[in-house]
Amino acid sequence: MTARLIRFLTLVLRLVPPLAWWALAGLVFSILNEGFHQELWPNTPAARPVFISLLLSCLMALPWVAAHIAWHLSGALESFFWKSVWRFVALAGYVGATLASGGGLVAQGFMWHEWLTAH
């Protein structure tokens, strides 16, 4: 059981594209800069919305990457049942990523509109 799980995890890690690591790094970077924006960027009022936009952009990329991984994982499996399950998960992931990206873009638009009208 443990050996199968380890084999599955190594397969998944091999299928993770570099974009996933960049998105996670951008997520950590933007969270740290947003958390410490008063200490790091005291004289730059535009820093906060920029890092919030980076945070939202990285969050919007993660569902696309997860669906991409699920689709490629389905191609690497041999069982018809598991192939079908992972293809369904990937398709549902792409639909969810589309909805999440649309919501994220609308949220960014409102955030920038509010910030630009206030300054």
Helices marked H in the chain: 2-15, 18-35, 37-40, 47-76, 80-118
The whole-angstrom separation of Cα 95 and Cα 43 is 41
Look up the domain containing 108 and give its range. 2-118
Which amino acid appears at position 63 of this protein?
A: P
Q: Please state, in angstroms and as integers, the Cα–Cα distance from residue 83 to each residue in 24, 47, 90, following that order.
A: 27, 45, 10
Tens-place pLDDT, residues 38-53: 888 888 888 889 999 9
- Taking the alpha carbons of 85, 87, 90, 94 in that order, is the dihedral positive or negative? negative
- Tokens 């919007």 found at: 60
Please give the model's pTM, rounded to 2 decimal places: 0.84
The whole-angstrom separation of Cα 100 and Cα 96 is 6
Tens-place pLDDT, residues 88-111: 999 999 999 999 999 999 999 999
Number of domains in the chain: 1
pLDDT at 23 over 90: yes
Q: Please state, in angstroms and as integers, the Cα–Cα distance from residue 95 to each residue in 63, 72, 100, 113, following that order.
A: 10, 17, 9, 27
pLDDT at 119 over 90: no
